[in-house]
Amino acid sequence: MKILVAVKRVVDYNVKVRVKSDASGVDIANVKMSMNPFDEIAIEEAVRLRERGVATEVIAVSCGVQQCQETLRTAMAIGADRGILVLSDAELQPLAVAKLLKALVDKEQPGLIILGKQAIDDDCNQTGQMLAALADLPQATFASKVEVAGDKVKVTREVDGGLETLELSTPAVITTDLRLNEPRYVTLPNIMKAKQRRLDTFKPEDLGVDVASKLKTLKVTQPPERSAGIRVPDVATLVTKLKTEAKVI
């Protein structure tokens, strides 16, 4: 069974982004970029399934600009066997990415497709579910445990009240939550090895996908700043303030 994993290049999670003064977006020039943390978990899970003999090949896919190659090399350093870059300079919305992935699913016929539950830049939480819908596949989002048995996969999901377990027939789409695994550290020898692995590049038109969107970002602004209040010396003062000043208890 092949596993297809989608990885996105995003602003590193440690960076606090700044809104541009003309409100056209956030300033990401000269900002550190990394693989979306949830996608790292997705790659790790796929690689573990291959190491356990459940999967035969792990293919990492990234959609976006040329530099997404670096993200794919990181995925291969974690253990993906090969990479596919869908090269586009357009601002890709989740629906467009889902269509591109659907075209690759048709081509590669993976048994599982694993994605991060959300990207930490646009915070959309859409692509996996959209791919599942377009490809008419069952889905298990927010996974904290994945067990493959024959042509079924049992997935434990993080839901609002706790956990639930679903069984899906494969092929299926899974999106990862934080507790699924802890991705391994990438070692230098593996980074070197990753450079040798195959990386194919397609354009959206090669896959017959129109990536245009009817969504327009009118402006991006700074949220209202919350300023620090006061320090209280002790618990008694805190309780008094909460009762008489804030009136919340």
Partner 1 sequence: MTVLVIAEHDNASIKSATLNTVTAAVACGGDVHVLVAGHNAAEAAKAAALIAGVAKVLHADEAGLAHGLAENVAAQVLAIASSYSHILFPATASGKNVAPRVAAKLEVSQISDITKVNSSDTFERPIYAGNAIATVQSADSVKVLTVRGTGFDAAAATGGSAAVETLSAVAASGKSSFLGAEIAKNERPELTAAKIIVSGGRALGSAEKFTEIMTPLADKLGAAIGASRAAVDARYAPNDLQIGQTGKIVAPQLYIAAGISGAIQHLAGMKDSKVIVAINKDPEAPIFSVADYGLEADLFVAVPELTATIAS
Asked if 29 and 133 count as a contact pair (C-beta separation under 8 A), the reply is no
Q: Does 121 bind partner 1 (CB under 8 A)?
A: yes
Cβ(146)–Cβ(160) under 8 Å? no
212 near partner 1, judged by CB under 8 A:
no
202, 208, 211, 212 alpha-carbon torsion, rounded to 10°: 140
Q: Give the 3-state secondary structure of residue 74.
A: helix
> Does residue 33 belong to the site contacting partner 1 (CB under 8 A)?
no
Please report which helix (H) or strand (E) contains residue 191, including its range. helix 188-196
**Rounded least distance, CB 13 to partner 1, Å:** 7
Residue 66 or 222: the one with the smaller Cβ distance to partner 1 is 222
Q: Are the C-beta atoms of 166 and 157 separated by less than 8 Å?
A: yes
Residue 77 or residue 104: which is nearer to partner 1 going by CB?
Answer: 104
Task: Please classify residue 144 by burial: count the beta carbons closer than 10 Å to its beta carbon, then call 0-12 exposed, 13-18 middle and 19+ buried.
Answer: middle
124 part of the interface to partner 1, by CB under 8 A:
yes
- Bond preceding residue 110 cis, omega within 30 of 0: no
76 versus 131: smaller Cβ distance to partner 1: 131
Supply the minimum distance, in Å, between the C-beta of residue 117 and partner 1. 7
Nearer to partner 1 by Cβ, of 57 and 158: the residue is: 158
If one asks whether residue 42 binds partner 1 (CB under 8 A), the answer comes out as no
Binding string, residues 138-177; x marks residues near partner 1 by CB under 8 A: xxxxx-x---------x--xxxxxxxxxxxxx--x----x
Q: Between 58 and 137, whose beta carbon lies closer to partner 1?
A: 137
Identify the residue among 62, 71, 88, 93 touching partner 1 (CB under 8 A).
Answer: 93
